[in-house]
Structure 1
Amino acid sequence: MQHSFKIAAAAALCATTFAAHAELTMDANLELDTTYQSKVSKPATNARDSDLNQGGRVEFNVGGKATNGDAFVQARGTLLIKKDGDTGTDDMWVQFGNAGMDVKMGRFEAMDLFPLGKDTLVENSGYGGYHANALRGRFGKDTVHIAPGFNAGPARIEVGFVYSKEKGEARGVRPAVSFGSGPVTVRVGAESVKKVGSTTGSTNGFGASLGYALSADSSLNLNFAKMEDDKSVGFNATIGAAGVGLILDKGANGAKNNTFYAAYSFPLFGVKGATITPAFSYAKGGKGTESQTAARVRVNYAF
């Protein structure tokens, strides 16, 4: 806990210093999950394993943006204080450039090529498929992640570079482009992934997403991703407080996973920033594999 106080104090000191030079934003929220999971392994034996657990975290965000004519510098940091007593970092990045070009580096998530919509609870049956996110981001340890971006009217091009020396970690390049026109957004990208320590060469993957905004808080997404024998198709819809989705994963040697998930957020006693979200997920694998059913109640409160 003393470690948590030191991190929080350092974040507050940085925030105070930064406020003198840029427009500062600060916010915090709590997320508490109570989750029930039931897994059936090998339908022939019908072995069942059930679990009820509770997890969560308090998230503290600090960020800011300063401009000088067309140029800007922007940064964001996220401190996580977890229910189990650990602390962690989610976002920790800096971005700088102008209207035409910028560079982002640190710990962040790059362009989403397989958006899941309202993903409060999304399980799988053991085989998770490929969702064009091997090099997307939020890497830990000493991994280097840099993503130059280029803006050209309604199009944005992003080229992510990831480098790690840790055995088993991923390194490579991830170009992606998004194009928006009215309510329609198209995202297309590729990944060239090399596992550190592997004797094989790079593996190439591809992802594409078509999104349609029905309103400010409602949207539809159709996704596709492929890397060698792994193929995934996803469809999801978010309609206000409700969300529903379906993911179909297929891989080599009969590996298969079909996941259906849904969630709905209710206001909590009419308090601003407070919601309670029941969520459900069901995943079924191929022949001889397992299935998993899960239910979650998530309480959110933005301070």
Structure 2
Amino acid sequence: MSKTFKLAAVAALCAAAAVAHADVKFDANFEGDTTNTSAATDSFKSGGRIEVNANAELLKQGDNFVNARASLLLGLNADSTVDDAWIQFGNSSVDLKIGRFEALDLFPVAKDTVLDPATGAGYRANIGRGRFKDGQFHGALGLNAAPGLRFELGVVNYKDGTPPASGAAEQVVRPAVSYTTGDLTLRAGFESFDKGLGAGTQTGYGLSAGYMLAKDAAVNVNYANSSDLDASSVGANLVYGPAGIGYIKDKTGATTVDTVYAAYSFPLLGVKGAFITPAISVSSGDGVADKTALRVRLNYQF
């Protein structure tokens, strides 16, 4: 997308909200990263972005609503891009979301300030999750069937003379369900996808369980598998206050990659909303070079 279009995405939302006398809320945050990676080829990188969000309640009439969101990422040493750009309408029982967004996460990784596997492997049930970059249509129908129980049916479709980037999804159907009772949250979903690489329709599924140990502490366990891709991933993670740690085992064919990652956020100079987060990711795999990544992230919510 061009920069003109990216800026227009936020401007259009603001204009639409103004016309509809909507309630618009703006927020922004700054994120700066310094990353050192030690692998077959060492690297040192510095980057970051400013994220500007506009959330609008375009219509609220009885039980019916129309909401929208636009997020613009302004890269410090990279191109600017749109992160979220969606509209959602419905009521407390059923709703439909269309645009650029992320659907239900079937493999939450929690505090992944840096998570850098030694090589690409595994399957995490996220092929049809969203935030596509190749022009695919993405919609998700949501149904709140009972207190704590929500069904979601995601659909991805790509029709263009030029095929999307290699490996991108052309067609996806992604039903998923989440159930929360007390401190326990269960998630399950299935993906049927065609990547347009001549392999035809392939499938996979994901399962996840999370438990709130306290107000600021939670644990997750995840599993995803695609027999068509001969790939699977299993992981567990824990967040306790400002600290987070996780482990993921990714497997594709005979290649297995084990990755451990951790991070801790410290308040920065006592400034409200400002944090500095050192993080580490250590990964090793069969027949590939080990990889260790260190990152220091500065974050400020304003």
Query: What TM-score, normalized to structure 2?
Result: 0.92
Residue among 151, 156, 161 paired with 1:162: 156
Call closer, same or farther: CA 1:64–1:51 in 2, change over 3 Å: same
1:10 deviates by 6.9
1:14 deviates by 4.1
User: CA-to-partner distance for each residue in 1:109-166, whole Å, 9 max, x for gaps?
Assistant: 0000000010100011113311000110001232100100000122100000001132
Residue among 43, 55, 59 paired with 1:63: 55
Residue among 113, 116, 125 paired with 2:118: 125
Instruction: Show the counterpart of 2:76.
Output: 83
Instruction: Show the counterpart of 2:143.
Output: 150
User: CA-to-partner distance for each residue in 1:53-96, whole Å, 9 max, x for gaps?
Assistant: 10110000001113110000010000111012521000000000
Instruction: Show the counterpart of 2:184.
Output: 184
Tell me if the contact between 1:127 and 1:256 (Cα under 8 Å) persists in the aligned partners.
Answer: no
1:294 deviates by 0.5
Tell me which amino acid in the other structure corresponds to 2:89. F
Instruction: Show the counterpart of 1:46.
Output: none
Residue among 98, 103, 107 paired with 1:114: 107
Q: 3-state DSSP class of the match of 1:132?
A: coil
Distance in 1, matches of 2:258 and 2:9, equals: 45
Instruction: Show the counterpart of 2:291.
Output: 292
Tell me if the contact between 2:6 and 2:81 (Cα under 8 Å) persists in the aligned partners.
Answer: no
Tell me if the contact between 2:121 and 2:251 (Cα under 8 Å) persists in the aligned partners.
Answer: no
Distance in 2, matches of 1:10 and 1:123, equals: 31
Distance in 1, matches of 2:178 and 2:9, equals: 37
Instruction: Show the counterpart of 2:202.
Output: 203
1:11 deviates by 3.0
Tell me which amino acid in the other structure corresponds to 1:270. G
Tell me which amino acid in the other structure corresponds to 1:121. V
Instruction: Show the counterpart of 2:255.
Output: 255
Matched length: 290
User: CA-to-partner distance for each residue in 1:201-247, whole Å, 9 max, x for gaps?
Assistant: 21110100000012232110000000112111100000010000000
Name the Cα RMSD after superposition: 1.7
Distance in 1, matches of 2:198 and 2:8, equals: 45
1:200 deviates by 2.4
Q: 3-state DSSP class of the match of 2:174?
A: strand
Instruction: Show the counterpart of 1:54.
Output: 46
Instruction: Show the counterpart of 2:28.
Output: 28
Tell me if the contact between 1:127 and 1:285 (Cα under 8 Å) persists in the aligned partners.
Answer: no
User: CA-to-partner distance for each residue in 1:244-268, whole Å, 9 max, x for gaps?
Assistant: 000011221x111000000000000
Distance in 2, matches of 1:283 and 1:110, equals: 28
Distance in 1, matches of 2:115 and 2:222, equals: 15
Tell me which amino acid in the other structure corresponds to 1:245. G
User: CA-to-partner distance for each residue in 1:164-183, whole Å, 9 max, x for gaps?
Assistant: 13243312100000000000
Q: Percent identity?
A: 46
Tell me which amino acid in the other structure corresponds to 1:295. L
Distance in 1, matches of 2:109 and 2:5, equals: 35
1:296 deviates by 0.2
Distance in 2, matches of 1:70 and 1:247, equals: 42
Greater mean alpha carbon deviation, residues 177-186 or residues 166-175: 166-175
Distance in 1, matches of 2:91 and 2:156, equals: 23
Tell me which amino acid in the other structure corresponds to 1:244. I
1:279 deviates by 0.2
Instruction: Show the counterpart of 1:101.
Output: 94
Call closer, same or farther: CA 1:14–1:102 in 2, change over 3 Å: closer
Distance in 1, matches of 2:278 and 2:69, equals: 30
Distance in 2, matches of 1:103 and 1:212, equals: 28
Distance in 1, matches of 2:77 and 2:120, equals: 28
Tell me if the contact between 2:121 and 2:231 (Cα under 8 Å) persists in the aligned partners.
Answer: no
1:12 deviates by 4.8
For structure 1, the 5+ residue unaligned runs are: 41-48
Query: What TM-score, normalized to structure 1?
Result: 0.91
Tell me if the contact between 1:210 and 1:223 (Cα under 8 Å) persists in the aligned partners.
Answer: yes
Distance in 1, matches of 2:9 and 2:187, equals: 38
For structure 2, the 5+ residue unaligned runs are: none
1:22 deviates by 1.6
5 Å-filtered alignment, 1:129-140, equals 129-140=122-133
Distance in 1, matches of 2:81 and 2:9, equals: 14
